[in-house]
Chain A
Amino acid sequence: ALQADSSISPLPHLEAKIRQTHSLARLLTKYAEQLLQEYVQHQGDPFGLPGFSPPRLPVAGLSAPAPGHAGLPLPERLRLDAAALDALAPLLDVVRRRQAELNPRAPRLLRHLEDAARQARALGAAVEAVLAALGAEPGGPRPEPAAVAAAASAAAAGVFSAKVLGLRVCGLYGEWVSRAEADLGPLVPGGPT
């Protein structure tokens, strides 16, 4: 079991795994920023205008990283990261499907949403693999289909709601990959402790 963040002495293959996962998280953090910008560009005004901040509506089956997230034990943090990333993938798919109707002539946005869903799954699996390699217990249950269905129905409720939901999901995607990067950082040999 994981004893302490700074006392980890992973094996070489584990080091490589952690480093690889951390690099992926860092890369996806950058991609998530680009995705959010691209998403906003295609929603029309006032999306993207300075000062436009729709309420951070709760998303079924997914919440933002809690303020006390950093204070949790590392395995718990990683479990939460993996669970959130797993939950994000179907939500990003929902957003992509809705955007395919709204912006069918924005193939770049659609491709980035598709990539983001796939990459969220990959990063979630990688974080779980790291957890398993560290001997920690796997994460909790997978997000319920009902939660995704709820999100899908919310996206289908109205175009404006769908746009706001998409904005929220893209934002959460960025927050969670950034969170995962920060949580994996101390595990990287030579990285921040």
Chain B
Amino acid sequence: MDVSSCLRGPSWMVGSKRMRMASNFRWLLSTLILLYLMKQVNSQKKGTPRDFKCKTQNLQVWNCSWKAPPGHDGVYKVCIENRPHSCYQSEKGNVKIPRLPPGDHEITINLSRGLGSSMSKFLLNEKNVYFTPETPEILTLSADFPTSTLHLKWNDKGSVYPHHSDVIWEIKILHKENTEIIKLITHNTTLTGKDTVHHWSWTSDLPLECATHYVGIRCYIDDRHFSGHKQWRSSDSQTKVFPQDKVIPVGSDITFCCVTQEKVLLAQIGQTNCPLIHLDGENVAIKIRNISVSANSGTNVVFTTDDNMFGTVIFAGYPPDIPQKLNCETYDLKEVICTWNPGRSTALVGPRNTSYTLFESFSGKYVRYKRAEVPTNESYQLFFQMLPDQEIYNFTLSALNPLGQSESTILVNITEKVHPHTPTSIKVKDINSTAVILTWHLPGNFAKIKLLCQVEIIKTDLVRELRNVTVKGVENSSYLIAVDKLKPYTRYTFRIRCSSDTFWKWSKWSNEKQYLTTEAIPSKGPDTWREWSSDGKNLIIYWKPLPIHEANGKILSYNVSCSSDEETQSLSEIPDPQHRAEIQLDKNDYIISVVAKNSAGSSPPSKIASMEIPNDDLKIEQAIGMGNGILLTWNYDPNMTCDYVIKWCNSSRSEPCLMDWKKVPSNSSETVIESDQFRPGVRYNFFLYGCKNQGYQLLRSIIGYIEELAPIVAPNFTVEDTSADSILVKWEDIPVEELRGFLRGYLFYFEKGERDTSKMRGLESGRSDIKVKNITDVSQKTLRIADLQGKTSYHLVLRAYTDGGMGPEKSMFVVTKENSVGLIIAILIPVAVAVLVGVVTSVLCYRKREWIKETFYPDIPNPENCKALQFQKSVCEGNSGLKTLEMNPCTPNNVEVLEARSIVPKIEDTEIISPIAEHPEDHLEAEPENHVVVSYCPPVIEEEIPNPGVDEAGGTSQVIYIDVQSMYQPQAKPEEEQENEPVGGAGYKPQMHLPVTSAVEDLAAEDDLDKTAGYRPQADVNTWHLVSPDSPRSTDSNSEIVSFGSPCSINSRQFLIPPRDEDSPKSNGGGWSFTNFFQNKPND
């Protein structure tokens, strides 16, 4: 540590105390000065801090600085000697310390540098501190261009300074910044310890639009408590855009200007760019017309330069609307509350929001509305303390905002505008079983008025009653009334609201308070009935519980007594849940008395006679209810002196049955019986008793339903008898419980149908094949269905119905028996017809036998007379393959030649004129179809032989064969068939040639051969063999040459009739045919 730094020396700023000490220490002073000078020299050499000085802006904090030795960076530790916690550290050459009390203070500055350090000491006194106030803050500078007036508003920042001080403000107006001062004034104010806004206005001789005006302000604070140097603080206006933060009406026009030395590139309001209006220099302006309403935070106006941005905010809104619905009233006659609706929103909030003042003109007092940001259109309210002995108030509500003001007035007599608070602390206390006392608390001083209160009384059964009560107002807020005419043992709910007796508004209803009134004796005896037991020995007494309004409390027990002229029997203390007692009595007349008891006492007795007067003329009637009850009527009987009683029970219950009873005055002739126990579809028995001379007589017995329903089961039915045309059906009754109504009839459906087919089809579809029988006689239990068909299945369905609807179905399938007579007739009639036809045919045949014989069976010539047909038996028998007919030399007695053309199907064997001589052999071979060879057999045998073909022997014999095929085959044969012809036609051809009809079918088909063969002898041709002359042909299907045997074997003459219809080969079948029977040659 430097020794010299430890020495205390005087500061250059202030004298040392020691210098002012005794003169006898002068020598010592000289020594110290010398040492000080040496220290200074050493400090200069070693780089210690110097020029320590302090200044302040707010008198609270001193900002002390010193000159640091050049090139000596380090950390300074500044300590104030003899003060705790007064060391400060700094890396720079200044430090802020709190204000020190007047007097000298030793300051030590220690500079730490690497491994070394140096220390300096200074004396500090408040007198050496320079006080320069904070820069004055210009809040707004506005110009009133029409009047060329500048308005300056600034904040004195009085809260910063600890003492009340005088302030001198110096304001200057310049045309060119910092050069041309055109106005300089001073303005004196006082600092009050809090921020105060000051105003100053200046009217320019020159119109403000013509030039740029600058305003500068500085202040001098003469703080008497501060002994240091006081200096001026100047501040020029920094605002660049005008006007600043102005509030203007919506729809107005406004001009903004930007005063700048830089070139303005862009001006915009909100997000809209505006054209620039160039003013002096770089100054520009923009003009906004018809400005629209601003948002809460205002409308931003921004001027943009190359590297900066200047702006202002404009607030476009509305002047305050006239306060609407202004109303003043009081809750407690202590305070007036005035409410109003602000009307149209001003769109101005915060400091620009509308302020309200409520002024009372008689008293001259007013209250101001404290700004609260409430949502628009919500009611505002102000409280005004009432003045003693003043009832009439004349209120004026003024609304003010930067754009204007409005007001609304109201004159009220406050005693007529009482809107009490909600009554609280409701209490109930009973007076007796029918009256209570209600007390409540109503805050307020209503001693000068009467209160109209309303008591709402709600009984247990939710019956609501309102009672108005007028009470005198009191100061202590406690009120009391009596409420009477209540029912005993009834739970009431009370609540209260109040108003003034002149009535303005009801208060809100108080909370509800429930209270149960005390008990009273039952007002009536219980409703009583009696029944004799089934054995007739005991009398059962029934009574009903008393309704709450008659019980007047909780019924604890009942007393029952039966008294006659001779005796009295009693049953006491029957507990409440029991409403029935049984007493053994003889048949004497008794008067039964029943009494109900609660904690307050016993009810009057309820009496009933035990005697029952017989009635011989009693009929059972039916009645239908109305869904919820049943109406019973009877004729008025003047003999019934006391009352009527209707009792009822479920008909399915055993006797004595009693569900309930009802007593009806004796002057009534009808009643509606209703009960929660009634159920639809259940049969009930009702008994009407008339009370006569203290005895009851059963007048009517009625069965009925509250509501009829459809049966729930179908009648159980069976088939008793079945015949061929009828069915007898029998069914059973439906039980009453399942009938559920009065039976009105049955519906019987029947139709033909099998079980599997008809059971799925509905019967209600109105089908015509369903027959329906409606049986309305409910006593009928059988039904015979007639006119049915025999041996037929029928579907039977039976269902019952009531007035409540149709019951379910029950179905059955029945098959009728067979009708034997009809069957017999059906057999006999065809047989008889057949016999008759046979007889007639036989007679006709017999009478026409000659014709028939001639037609169908002419006499056949004896072939033995023909020598030409003499076969050598051995040959015929021995060689079946030999088909050549050897002609014996016989002289023909007649020769007929029939010429058949292939294209002319018709043959006229009677007109054969062509002799065989005209047909040479070769010609036959060439045109075989044109040759018709007719067999010759004396005396005359004309045989039509189909397709004679080429016969080798034909050329040499005199026999001519008739081509039968050509007769009946009008179509020319196919060529392929013609090609076969020469083969088939080889050799001998007898009178017939079987294959000729197979014009279409395959010639090789054996069956076809059978079918197409014309002539069929009486025997099966397939069995024929050429074993005898009687075997006329050989039908070897495999043989290419089909030949017949000797024509001598033919002992009948018959055409072989080819099929007329080629498509019906059956009709062309060989053998016997009915058609053949009637066909013959016309010339025969």
When A43-B300, A101-B350, A105-B373 are in contact, do A153 and B155 touch as well, CB less than 8 Å?
Answer: yes
Kindly state the separation between the CA atoms of A181 and B300 in the bound complex, as whole angstroms: 35
A residues 41-66 near B (Cβ < 8 Å) are 42-47, 49, 53-55
Chain B nearest CB, measured from A140 CB (Å):
8
Given A46-B268, A46-B302; A144-B61 close (CB under 8 Å): yes
Question: Do residues A55 and B308 form an inter-chain contact, with CB atoms below 8 A?
Answer: yes
Proximity bits, B634-669, A CB within 8 Å = 1, else 0: 000000000000000000000000000000000000
Taking each of B238, B299, B373, which has the highest tally of chain A beta carbons within 10 Å of its own beta carbon? Answer: B373
Name the distance in Å between B76's Cβ and chain A's nearest Cβ: 13
Which A1-56 residues have a C-beta within 8 angstroms of B? 42-47, 49, 53-55
User: Does A160 lie within 8 Å of B312, measured CB to CB?
Assistant: yes
Cα distance A45–B271 in the bound complex, in angstroms:
5
B351 touches A101 (CB 8 A): yes
Which of B290-298, B399-407, B672-680, B718-726 lies at the binding interface?
A: B290-298
> Is A132 in contact with chain B by the CB < 8 A criterion?
no
CA of A88 to CA of B300 in the docked complex: distance in angstroms?
Answer: 26
Instruction: Check if A157 is an interface residue, CB within 8 A of chain B.
Output: yes
Interface 0/1 of A90-119, CB less than 8 Å to B:
000000000011111110000000000000
**CA A76 to CA B324, docked complex, whole Å:** 63
Binary B-proximity of A155-170 (CB < 8 A = 1, otherwise 0): 0111110011000000
* Interface size of A as a range: 20 to 34
B311 and A164 contacting across the interface, CB-CB below 8 Å:
yes
Q: Which of B138, B244, B300, B350 contacts A163 (CB 8 A)?
A: B300
In the complex, chain B residues 508-547 whose Cβ is within 8 Å of any chain A Cβ: none
CB of A146 within 8 A of CB of B241, answer no
Q: Which residues of B contact A100 (CB under 8 A)?
A: 350
On whether A102 and B350 interact (CB within 8 A), knowing A42-B297, A44-B297, the answer reads yes
Beyond A46-B270, A102-B350, A104-B349, whether A160 also contacts B296 by CB under 8 A is no
Q: Does A134 contact B (CB under 8 A)?
A: no
Determine if A149 is an interface residue (Cβ-Cβ < 8 Å).
yes
A156–B138 alpha-carbon span in the complex (Å): 10
Q: Are B296 and A104 in contact (CB under 8 A)?
A: yes
Whether A156 contacts B300 in the complex (CB less than 8 A), given A46-B270, A104-B350, A144-B96, comes out as no
Q: CA–CA, A66 to B268, complex, Å?
A: 33
Report whether B160 and A103 are in contact in the complex, using a CB–CB cutoff of 8 Å: no
Q: List the B side residues contacting A49 at CB < 8 Å.
A: 271
Cβ contact within 8 Å between B308 and A103: no
Interface: B799 (CB within 8 A): no
Residue of B nearest to A162 (CB): B313
Cβ of B309 < 8 Å from any Cβ of A? yes
| B137 lies within 8 A of chain A by Cβ | yes
- The CA of A42 and the CA of B244, in the complex, are separated in Å by 19
Contacts of A157 in B (CB 8 A): 137-139, 238-239
- Tell yes or no: B307 within 8 A of A by CB: yes
Cβ–Cβ contact A102 & B298, under 8 A: yes
Asked if B789 is at the interface (CB within 8 A of a chain A CB), the reply is: no
Provide the bound-state CA to CA distance between A46 and B296, in Å: 15
Q: Give the nearest-CB partner of B269 in chain A.
A: A45
Please give, as numbers and ranges, the residues of chain B lying within 8 Å of A101 by CB-CB distance: 349-351
Bound together, the chains give a CA A98 to CA B268 distance in angstroms of 24
Report A14 CB to chain B, min CB distance, Å: 26
Residue of A42, A141, A160, A163 ringed by the most chain B CB atoms within 10 A:
A160
Q: What's the least CB distance linking A144 to chain B, in Å?
A: 7
A149-B160, A163-B313 known; A158 vs B300 contact (CB < 8 Å): no
User: Considering only CB atoms, which chain A residue lies closest to B271 in the complex?
Assistant: A45
Task: Assess whether B311 is in contact with A106, with CB atoms less than 8 Å apart.
Answer: no
Which residues of B from 130 to 181 have beta carbons under 8 Å from A?
A: 134, 137-139, 155, 157, 160
Name the distance in Å between B207's Cβ and chain A's nearest Cβ. Answer: 25
**B296 near A102 (CB under 8 angstroms)?**
yes
Q: Which residue of B lies closest to A53 (CB)?
A: B309
Contact B296 A106 (CB under 8 A): yes
CB of B1008 within 8 A of chain A? no
- Measured between alpha carbons, how far is A157 from B137 in the docked complex, in Å? 7
Contact of B899 with A by CB under 8 A: no
Q: Is B870 an interface residue (CB 8 A)?
A: no
Which residue of A45, A46, A160 is within 8 Å of B241 (Cβ)? A160
Interface string of B290-331 (1 = CB under 8 A from A): 000011111111100001110111000000000000000000
B271 proximity list for chain A (CB < 8 A): 45-46, 49
Please determine whether A156 and B155 come into contact, CB atoms closer than 8 angstroms: yes
What residues of A have a CB within 8 angstroms of the CB of B300 in the complex? 43-47, 160, 163
A105 x B349 contact (CB < 8 A): yes
CB-CB under 8 A from A102, the residues of chain B are: 296-298, 349-350
Cα distance, A55 to B309, chains bound together (Å): 7
Q: Which residues of B contact A146 (CB under 8 A)?
A: 57-58, 61, 134
Answer whether A54 and B155 are a contact pair too, CB < 8 Å, given A144-B61, A146-B58, A158-B239. no
CA distance A102 to B254 in the complex (A): 21
Which partner residue on chain A sits nearest B96 by CB separation?
A: A144
Nearest CB on B from A23, distance (A): 32
Residues in A whose Cβ lies below 8 Å from that of B138: 157
Is B707 part of the binding interface, using a Cβ–Cβ cutoff of 8 Å? no
Determine if A44 and B139 form an interchain contact, defined as CB atoms under 8 angstroms apart: no
- B1010 interface residue, CB < 8 Å from A? no
Which residues 449-483 of B have a CB within 8 angstroms of A?
A: none
Chain A positions within 8 Å of B96 at CB level: 141, 144
CB neighbours of A149 from chain B (8 A): 134, 157, 160
User: How long is the Cα–Cα vector from A44 to B295 in the complex, in angstroms?
Assistant: 7
CA gap between A164 and B58 in the complex, in Å: 27
A158 proximity list for chain B (CB < 8 A): 239, 244-245, 312-313
Query: Out of A47, A144, A159, which one reaches B245, CB within 8 Å?
Result: A159
Which chain B residues border A53 with CB–CB below 8 Å? 309
**B239/A153 in contact, CB under 8 A:** no
CB neighbours (8 Å) of A46 from chain B are 268, 270-271, 300, 302
Interface residues of B in 214-245 (CB under 8 A from A): 238-239, 241, 244-245
Assembled-state Cα–Cα distance A146/B60 (Å): 10
Query: How far is the CB of A98 from the nearest CB of chain B, in Å?
Result: 9
Complex formed: what's the CA distance from A100 to B351 in Å?
A: 10
Interface core residue of B139, B241, B302 (most chain A CB under 10 Å): B302
Q: Which residues of B contact A163 (CB under 8 A)?
A: 297, 300, 313
Are A103 and B296 CB-contacts (below 8 A) given A54-B309, A158-B245?
Answer: yes
- Chain A residues near B349 (CB-CB < 8 A): 101-105
How far, in whole Å, are A138 and B245 apart by their CA atoms in the complex? 43
Contact in complex: B239, A44 (CB < 8 Å):
no
Q: Chain A 118-158 against B: per-residue CB contact (8 Å), 1 yes, 0 no? A: 00000000000000000000000100101001000100111
Flag if B296 contacts A45 (CB, 8 Å).
no
Chain B, Cβ-Cβ closest to A157: B137
B296→A105 contact, CB < 8 A: yes
Q: How far is the CA of A44 from the CA of B296 in the complex (A)?
A: 9
Contact status A43-B302, CB under 8 Å: no
Residues 239 to 280 of chain B near chain A (Cβ within 8 Å): 239, 241, 244-245, 268, 270-271
Q: What's the nearest-Cβ distance from chain B to residue A110, in Å?
A: 10
Residues of chain A contacted by B137 (CB below 8 angstroms): 153, 156-157
* Least CB separation from A150: chain B residue: B134
Q: Please name 14 further chain A to chain B contacts, defined as beta carbons within 8 Å, in addition to the given A101-B349, A160-B312, sorted by A numbering.
A: A44-B300, A45-B300, A101-B351, A104-B296, A106-B296, A144-B96, A158-B239, A158-B245, A158-B312, A159-B244, A160-B241, A160-B301, A160-B302, A160-B313
**Top 5 nearest A-B pairs by Cβ distance?**
A101-B350, A159-B313, A104-B373, A160-B311, A45-B271
A-B contact pairs, 26 of them (CB 8 A): A44-B295, A44-B297, A46-B300, A46-B302, A53-B309, A54-B309, A102-B298, A104-B349, A105-B349, A105-B375, A106-B296, A141-B88, A146-B57, A149-B160, A153-B155, A153-B157, A157-B138, A157-B139, A158-B239, A158-B244, A159-B313, A160-B244, A160-B301, A160-B302, A163-B300, A164-B311
Interface positions of B (Cβ within 8 A of A): 57-58, 61, 88, 96, 134, 137-139, 155, 157, 160, 238-239, 241, 244-245, 268, 270-271, 294-302, 307-309, 311-313, 349-351, 373, 375
